[in-house]
Structure formats: C-alpha cells, structure tokens
Amino acid sequence: MPAVSKGDGMRGLAVFISDIRNCKSKEAEIKRINKELANIRSKFKGDKALDGYSKKKYVCKLLFIFLLGHDIDFGHMEAVNLLSSNKYTEKQIGYLFISVLVNSNSELIRLINNAIKNDLASRNPTFMCLALHCIANVGSREMGEAFAADIPRILVAGDSMDSVKQSAALCLLRLYKASPDLVPMGEWTARVVHLLNDQHMGVVTAAVSLITCLCKKNPDDFKTCVSLAVSRLSRIVSSASTDLQDYTYYFVPAPWLSVKLLRLLQCYPPPEDAAVKGRLVECLETVLNKAQEPPKSKKVQHSNAKNAILFETISLIIHYDSEPNLLVRACNQLGQFLQHRETNLRYLALESMCTLASSEFSHEAVKTHIETVINALKTERDVSVRQRAVDLLYAMCDRSNAPQIVAEMLSYLETADYSIREEIVLKVAILAEKYAVDYTWYVDTILNLIRIAGDYVSEEVWYRVIQIVINRDDVQGYAAKTVFEALQAPACHENLVKVGGYILGEFGNLIAGDPRSSPLIQFHLLHSKFHLCSVPTRALLLSTYIKFVNLFPEVKPTIQDVLRSDSQLRNADVELQQRAVEYLRLSTVASTDILATVLEEMPPFPERESSILAKLKKKKGPGTVTDLEDTKRDRSVDVNGGPEPAPASTSAVSTPSPSADLLGLGAAPTAPAGPPPSSGGSGLLVDVFSDSASVVAPLAPGSEDNFARFVCKNNGVLFENQLLQIGLKSEFRQNLGRMFIFYGNKTSTQFLNFTPTLICSDDLQPNLNLQTKPVDPTVEGGAQVQQVVNIECVSDFTEAPVLNIQFRYGGTFQNVSVQLPITLNKFFQPTEMASQDFFQRWKQLSNPQQEVQNIFKAKHPMDTEVTKAKIIGFGSALLEEVDPNPANFVGAGIIHTKTTQIGCLLRLEPNLQAQMYRLTLRTSKEAVSQRLCELLSAQF
C-alpha cells in the first residue's frame, strides 16, 4: 500500500480524540461531540467548497463518533464523494466509512456501485483492492448481483496482480457464503483450480479457502484440485523452514496453508490415481514423523502450529479410513498427547481417538490406552476433558473390556458433574446390555445405576430392565430376589420402586418360598414406599397389588383393606381413585379363573427399534454417518428387544410404549423395499416425467475398492460423494444377519423422492433373502436416515446385491449404485480346533475339488498383527500353535446357510523375502472354496 505522507496526519482529528479522552464525565463527552457535529454539519452545508483533505478529516471524525456509540445521520454523500478521489488516503477513508455506516438499503448504493465499478476497471491494484474489500465488507445481495460476474474474471485474469487475486478470491468467498445462487459457475472454475500452483503463497491460501467452500456444492467442477492440492502439500511438507522464509511461522513452513489443504482433501474420497495416493500417503507419514522430532523452539507458537497440522493430518487419515498403518500410527501419536501438560491437547487427543475407535484397523490400538483414559477420568480438572474421556471409554468398549469400563463409569458417576450425568447413565445402560454375557451382571449394573444416579435414569432405561427380565426366563428369579433386597434400604429412589413394583408383581412368586421374602413381607415392603412416591408410581404399585391378589390369595384381605381405604377410594387424583375402585371390585366379584386370566403374566415384548440409543444421539446433537462409532467389532450381540412396558394393569392386552431395544437391532421383519426394476419390454408406455430411472446406474467409481474393504469388517463408510454419504453397520449370526444402512445428506438442501432399492440378480435371488422397508422420501439438509435390512443366507452364493439410490437434488435427478457388502464369509462361525483335530480334518478334505490354492504378490505391508486382524475379521477362528511353522496363519470355521453347513479350513503362508503369500482353502464344496479364496486373497 502507498505510504502515508506526513501531511496526512489530520491534526484536527488528533485534537478532537484528545479532547474526548480528557472529558471527566459522560455529559462532558456528549457536549463536546454535539459541538463537533454542529461544526461538521455547518462545514458540509457551507457555501465554500471543501477540499479532499477537509472532507476526509470530517468524515474520519464522524466515523470515530459512530464507533463511540452515537448515531450519525449525515455525511454519507461526502464519503461517497471521497471515492472519486485519486488520493489513496481519501479513497480509503471513503470506503471505510461506507463499509461501516452504509446499509444495503441505502439510496446511495447505486452511486457507490458506480464508484466501485470505476475502481475495478481502473487496473490500479491499490484501488481495485479497496473496492474488493468494500464489496466483501458490505456483502449485500445488491452488491452480489452487481459484481458476482466481474470478480471471477478479475480472479483468473492473467494480468491481475497477486494482491488483487488474493482480495478477489476472498471477496468471492464472502459473496458466495452470503448468496450462493448469485455466483455463476463457468469457465473460470477450471482456471481457479490452477491457482493452487501459483507462486505467491498468499494467492494459494486465498484460493484454497474459496475452492473448499465451492466444492462442497459443486464437487465435480473442482475434482481436479485433489492432485494439485496433494502436490502443493507435498512441496510444503518436504520443505525446510528456510525454504519458505516469508511464510514460515516459528520454524513451521506455511502452517495455515497446510491446514487448509488438508481440509480441502477431506472434501473428497481417497485419490483413485495410485501415484497421487502414494504421494499423499508419503506426505501424511512425513507429518507423523516430524511430530516425533524434538521441537525446534520452546515457544508455544511453534508447538501450536506443529500440532495444528498434525491434528488435521489425523483427521484426514480418519476420513479416508483405508490405511491401517497410518491409522495405528495416528492412534499411537494421539496416545502420547493423553498425558500432555496442555489441557487443549489432551482434549483434542481424546476427541480424535473417539473417532479412531470406530475403525476396524485402529480399534485395538486405541484399547491399549484404556488405563490412561481411566486415569484422566479420575484426575482431570477440566469437565470438558472428563466428558471426552467418557466418550472415548464408550467408543473403545467391546466384549473383552466391558465389565472394567462399566465399573469405572459407575465409579465416576458418583462424583460426576451434573451436566453430564444423564449422558453417562445412558451410555452405561447401553454398554451393560450390549456386552452382557451374564444377565445377572446386567441386572446388578442397572440397579446400581439407579442407586447412584436415580434422578438421571430416564424412563427408557428402567423400562429396558423390565423388558429383558420378562424376555429371559433365566434371570427372572434373580431379578426378583435382587430388587427385593434393594428395596430394603431405608431410602430408595423412586425409579427403583418402579422397577421393584413391576418385577415383584410379575415374578414375586419365584421368591415367595423363602420366609424372609414371603408374600406379606413383599407387600409391606412395597407399601412402605407408597406414600413417598409420585402419582404415576402409586398407580403402578396399585397394579402390583392386584397382581399379588392373583399370585398370593393369602394376602387378598390385606390388599382389599388398602384399596378400600378412604385415601384410595376418595383420592383427589382421578387415575388413582379409578384404579382403586376397579381393582377392589375385580378382586371381590371375579372368580379365580377370571382373575388368573385377566392378571396373567406379561408376554415377552416384541422387538422394536432403539429409543435409548436415539436419545443418546439426540443429546449429543445431530450427527453424520460417523455415528457408527456405536458399532463395535463383536460379530454377535444378544438381542432382547421390546417396547417399554406400561405399568402393570388389569388387562392382559397392554399397549406397549414406543421405547425399544437399546442397540436398535431388534427391528421386526419388514416388507421388501420393492421389486427391482423389471427387465424386458413388458411396459412400452413410460412416464417420461417420473423420477424413477428406467435403467439402474452403473456402479459408482471406487465402489469396488470400498466393497473389498468391508470383506473383513462390518461397519464404516461404504460410499461418499459431495452430496451423499452411505454408512453401514451390520451383525451376523449363523445364517442370519441384520444390516443398518445410514444415508447422510451432506448438503443444506433437501433430497426429494429419495428411493433406495436392493437389487439381486436372477442367480443370487434364490440363495439370499433380503427384507427391508422403505425410508422417508424426503431427507432434510444435514440429516441422516436409517434403513434396516434383514438378511437370510439360503445357500452359498458368489455375487453381491446392488444398492441403487435415486433422488432429486436441487431439481437434478441423481442415480447412484453401489455393491452391498454381503459376502459368503459374513455367515462364518469361528471354530476352535486342536492341532491334531485340524490336520485330521485337513487330510479328510484332500480331494482336488475341495482345495483351492492361490499364490499372489502382497499388495500391502506384511504386518503380522494386521494379518491376524484380517483373518479374524474374515470370520474364521485364528488357531495359534497349530502349524509347525510359527510364521504361518491357520484358521477354521463353518459357513452356515439355511440348507447346509460347510466346514472350512484355511492356511496362509507368508514369504517376507519375496513379499508373496500362498493361501490354501479346503472346504467340502468347490464353489465355496473358490469364492472364499477370491475374497481373502484380495485383502493382503
């Protein structure tokens, strides 16, 4: 910018500011300002024309008065006149006044726009920058309409100065954010991408910000930016701090640009070009390596810049979720931050590890830090860090560590901050059921939860206990005994009384044989809590009493006395009064058989979708498909779904509440999604205005690679573009499975006529049964919908079904097809074998038709732990110390179909020197051996 000459000091302004500062009171300040306003008004209205310097000085004073909080209702025209000046300082003050004081509805906008057009056409870079800054600062729709077409031309013009390009990019970004519809896409979009190769780092930084915003709505127009961004990032990451001296911040080269480039890459899936992907992986590895180097400065600015790049790198690694080695390294790097003295770093590390825990590749690495996370939960001073520690414990929980994690959460719950107690209660309830091997432990855990934090136990949680107890015969007696003992405490939470009343009303007879829990003792124990409870709980207890009349005839007179009392029959609450009257009458006139029929034991609850998990997600805020962090690696989860029970009533036919299975795995069988598009020419008349495409779209690019990644894992992102994200989580047991498909709208615009369809070929249809139900045809911007698919494997198969999604976005018809990763190995059940049994069975499957062998080159690093994880993820049991060569891997399992069971043995022999594998599979069916060999070979 031009230097300000000594004569531009505006001494009058300096004196006025000094006078204001020296005022002793508010009244004195107002008096001085009013005097100055009168003077300025007289100067503007005087006969003598003011020169540019005087106008600038008086406009500056008005601007200062406005910034002090006083209204300014004149001087706007004088500021507009300053825009026509050829002096930089006068033009600058004019633009500054307009940016601050002129609103978008002003009558002067047309004059201002004319002045801006003149400056943009002047080719004077200083004046052009001032005009662009003003457009961005005002950012009104009127200015957008006037200049949205001109600014892109300035941005990509070959003769534009670097400073002008930088200002134009940021100005266009501001207009696009304010009014996206005003910025036309055209030839300039391809040229703006090449600004990433510009020599001026400021231009590149501004361009990256613009492209990142534009590509979210128009991904195809900017997809070429990926290779250029990788190239630029590679040059920055590999450069020394002395190479980019002007853009090096405390020995870190271009940290802001690096972060912006990494964020831009997160807008797209992994590069398809192997060379580009290899260069990007090299960049990410370099950043991780630099994080291990000793710091070049002790200043906090150095560590902040270095860590900003590191965390954005880890975010990109998590986004791709395709590089096992990088994911594990990222996890180990974050683990070092868990004990860092800086609170913000500990917070960010915990937050990032929550996402890493949902990846198949890094879940085990995350689990190694469990003790550190538990210690953070106990010792952290900052509540937000403790909350992230709870989130991470929840995310890393699986069947192997569930008792430990649940116990630690319960222990922390006693001293936890009130703001996060309800969330912890929900998580404990979900984990306790999801990983309950022994349901007596589950009952103990939930009752302990009610004891510790009863006020925060929502209805969904205690409903769920009752569902499980009713649905499982093996735990009913234990539950009755446990709640009876818990109710003997002098002070019981009301939720415990509800659980106790319901369970004893249904199963109190199972413990009535013990003199210490006789029917009369059970009744007196419950009735001692009656007067301390709210009306809904009293209503439930009255229903329990009438159940006792049926279960224990000997307590009938005692209960009738209670029902007959004035406090019940004349209760001010209509519900309690009605129950007392009806129950008393029922116990008096009904015969034993009628009473037994009306008050028979509640039937098992049908399976429904989850409400507790939904409650937790709602509490955490709207999510994307990354909500799949709830899914873990366990291939089988015990399901005891059901709607929440209504309080025990006189009717055997109850109306269940809409609560549901904690895991959402209990959805009842549903109707098919609809017939696949018919083949052939059965219908010659076609509705040309229909949204339904007559031809299913070909498979989306990259879908085959994503399909292969799901062979050894059950959850993750299956497909992603700039509009739609498709995530999966699935569970399989024997020949049955259930898959949850999550459709995420990544835009701010509705998807209309949203129709996903499952398509099975003629060969696949007899061998695989798929049932699902339609989803809501409208998907709101930023929202996510879920579809449940019930799967049955009838016989072995080789093909995979196709998921076709059709919808309208912004008036444009979209048609996407991906392969759904339902493969034969998903119906594997692992089988443990001793060495002798394995080789005996191996010899029995020695016919040439039963063995398939494949020798192939390793496509990924030959890492032992990764190989083990993939074999286990494939579905077979990994048999240790079976093969004489300890470097080999041996597995065994059974493929379950509806018609038959097929035993399978596998042997994987790695050759580290040659970087080769030999995979041998033996099954009782040749086609199965061939298919399993194809699927597993592609994983190494």
**Which residues contribute to the annotated binding site?**
11-12, 43, 53, 57-61
Instruction: Report CA-CA distances (Å) from 639 to 471, 643, 731, 865.
Output: 10, 13, 11, 31
Task: Quote the CA–CA distance of 768 and 799 in Å, as a whole number.
Answer: 10
563 near 557, Cβ under 8 Å? no
User: Is 448 strand, coil or helix?
Assistant: helix
Q: Nearest 5°: CA angle at 928, between 924 and 934?
A: 135
How many whole angstroms from its chain centre is CA 818?
Answer: 22
Q: In this structure, which amino acid lies at residue 281?
A: V
367 near 396, Cβ under 8 Å? yes
882 near 832, Cβ under 8 Å? no
Task: Quote the CA–CA distance of 463 and 472 in Å, as a whole number.
Answer: 15
User: Is 194 strand, coil or helix?
Assistant: helix
Question: What is the enclosing helix (H) or strand (E) of 729?
Answer: strand 724-733
Q: Nearest 5°: CA angle at 869, between 868 and 874?
A: 100
Task: Quote the CA–CA distance of 377 and 626 in Å, as a whole number.
Answer: 24
Strands (DSSP E) contained in 820-881 are 828-830, 851-857, 877-878
Instruction: Report CA-CA distances (Å) from 372 to 330, 378, 408, 421.
Output: 17, 10, 12, 21
DSSP calls for 120-152? HHS--HHHHHHHHHHHHHH--HHHHHHHTTHHH
Give backbone dihedrals phi and psi of 373, rounded to 5 degrees, phi first. -70, -40
Between strands 802-809 and 751-759, the pairing is antiparallel
Task: Quote the CA–CA distance of 749 and 745 in Å, as a whole number.
Answer: 8
Q: Nearest 5°: CA angle at 861, between 855 and 862?
A: 60
Q: In this structure, which amino acid lies at residue 417?
A: D
- The H helix count followed by the E strand count for the chain is 38, 16
Q: 854 - beta bridge partners?
A: 919
581 near 569, Cβ under 8 Å? yes
Least Cα distance to 743 among 795, 798, 788 occurs for: 788
Q: In this structure, which amino acid lies at residue 19?
A: D
Task: Quote the CA–CA distance of 901 and 903 in Å, as a whole number.
Answer: 7
- State both tokens at 256: 């802001």
- Contacts of residue 35, defined as CB under 8 A and 6 or more positions apart, other chains included, come to none
Q: In this structure, which amino acid lies at residue 733?
A: R
Location of structure tokens 């519900």? 575
User: Is 107 strand, coil or helix?
Assistant: coil
DSSP calls for 149-197? THHHHHHH-TT--HHHHHHHHHHHHHHHHH-GGGS--STHHHHHHGGGG
Location of structure tokens 């999966």? 728
Give backbone dihedrals phi and psi of 792, rounded to 5 degrees, phi first. -135, 125
Measure the N-to-C terminal CA separation of the chain; round to a whole number of Å. 59
Length of the chain: 940
Question: What is the enclosing helix (H) or strand (E) of 894?
Answer: strand 889-896
Q: In this structure, which amino acid lies at residue 735?
A: N
User: Is 253 strand, coil or helix?
Assistant: strand
